[in-house]
Amino acid sequence: MDMDKINQIFDKFGNATVLVIGDVMIDCYISGKVTRISPEAPVPIVNAQSRNYRLGGAANVALNLKSLGAKPILCSVIGSDNKSKVLYDLMEECELDSLGLVPIYGRRTTVKYRIIGNNAHIVRVDDERDEQLKEREKRQFLTTVEQVIDHNHIDAIIFEDYDKGLFSKDLIEEIINFAHQKNIFIAVDPKKRNFHNYENVNLFKPNMKELSAGLNLEDNVALSLDDIQQLVKKFAVEKRIDMVLITMSDRGMAFYDCKNDKFYHQDAFTRRVSDPSGAGDTVISVSTLFLLAQESMESTCLASNLAGGIVCEYVGVVPINTAQLKNEYLKNHSVIEK
């Protein structure tokens, strides 16, 4: 493997249009200094000195896809509030199309406030409403999704589920059925509420916490790789899922290919982890594009593993640096050449 061959892989991403359907949010970082403890309670007082807004959730997946050279189209619901303007401004600044965003009257645009004092993350405040869409709102959103699919050649759909109320069983089923009519690759980044509602998809990517919660496993149960393989195999067969990619933090990644009944595990790479926020967004973006490019599960795991680790070295939610990913992929390709 040389850089020319790696560039050939990444060049294929430029031909991919990916529809990202999911919960969009704003990540707000309020940073300052801590010089004293509050007299009202034993908590630090942060003298705020900067406020930085970034796109998060499904929008961060779109940013990762864009950074990798693909064309993302984002579909989501947002509030009809002041923070929606911040979101629209961020979308414009990042050169992302906002036509797939559906404002809902009375709904709140999700904002995650991270308070950072003396470079330490002190607390996070989530300003959101996560009740499910009303039937009328659901129909409105589904119409938008179908129009986007009808008016664009979509190569893949990524369900980016942050459990904020956008998805329901019937909405998921309708989108999947419509996607199958168009022969579109379907990838899923799940959460617990709808974990079992994603059936007949191509790629399912939970982390270990989500897998354990979704399968109702006891907390802190130490699963061997054999245990994971059997659990994932049973789940994939029941749900008619082609491939399952599990991110396992410091244990690396596991990949199960249901069609060929193959299981593959790759160890984690040593990293200086600063902030794991957004790593899952990066992994689903990279893995989807590698599989669209017809790359092997070993190659897909390597790229996704490296990409997830790279973004963890940065503070805050950031999209993948493609040049860095290419260089690390070249450097570590021997891992899958054994």
* CB distance 333 to 279 below 8 Å: no
Does 172 score more than 70 pLDDT? Answer: yes
Active site residue 281: yes
Q: Catalytic one among 23, 161, 189, 281?
A: 281
Q: Residue 255: pLDDT band by 50, 70, 90 thresholds? A: very high
Residue 181: inside a domain: yes
Residue 27: inside a domain: no
Q: How many Å apart are CA 164 and CA 35, to the nearest integer?
A: 36
> In three state form, how does the secondary structure of 273-327 look?
CCCCCCHHHHHHHHHHHHHHCCCCHHHHHHHHHHHHHHHHCCCCCCCCCHHHHHH
**Average per-residue pLDDT for the chain:** 94
Percent of the residues in the chain that have a pLDDT greater than 90, as a whole number: 86
- Amino acid 129: pLDDT: 86
Does 218 score more than 80 pLDDT? Answer: no
Q: What is the DSSP letter of 211?
A: H
- Amino acid 337: pLDDT: 67
Structure-block tokens of residue 228:
């994971």
Residue 83: inside a domain: yes
Q: Which domain holds residue 94?
A: 3-19+57-112+130-336
- Amino acid 187: pLDDT: 98
Rg, Å, the chain Cα set: 20
**Choice between 256 and 218, residue whose per-residue pLDDT is larger:** 256
Q: Residue 112: pLDDT band by 50, 70, 90 thresholds? A: very high
* CB distance 253 to 297 below 8 Å: no
- pLDDT tens, residue by residue, 283-316: 999 999 999 999 999 999 999 999 999 999 888 8
- pLDDT tens, residue by residue, 40-51: 999 999 999 999
The pTM of the full predicted model, rounded to 2 decimals, is 0.94
Number of domains in the chain: 1
The gap from C-alpha 292 to its chain's centroid, in whole angstroms, comes to 17
CATH code, domain carrying 95: 3.40.1190.20
- Roughly what angle, to the nearest 10 degrees, separates helices 169-181 and 135-151? 20
- Amino acid 314: pLDDT: 84
As a whole number of Å, the end-to-end CA separation of the chain is 13
Residue 200: inside a domain: yes
Residue 121: inside a domain: no
**Span 25-43, average pLDDT:** 95
Residue 224: inside a domain: yes
Residue 42: inside a domain: no
Q: How many Å apart are CA 253 and CA 258, to the nearest integer?
A: 16
- Amino acid 219: pLDDT: 65
- Amino acid 274: pLDDT: 77
Q: Which residues contact 55 (CB under 8 A, 6 or more apart)?
A: 24, 26, 27, 62, 63, 87, 90, 91, 94, 96, 317
Q: Residue 217: pLDDT band by 50, 70, 90 thresholds? A: confident
Residue 45: inside a domain: no
Does 250 score more than 60 pLDDT? Answer: yes
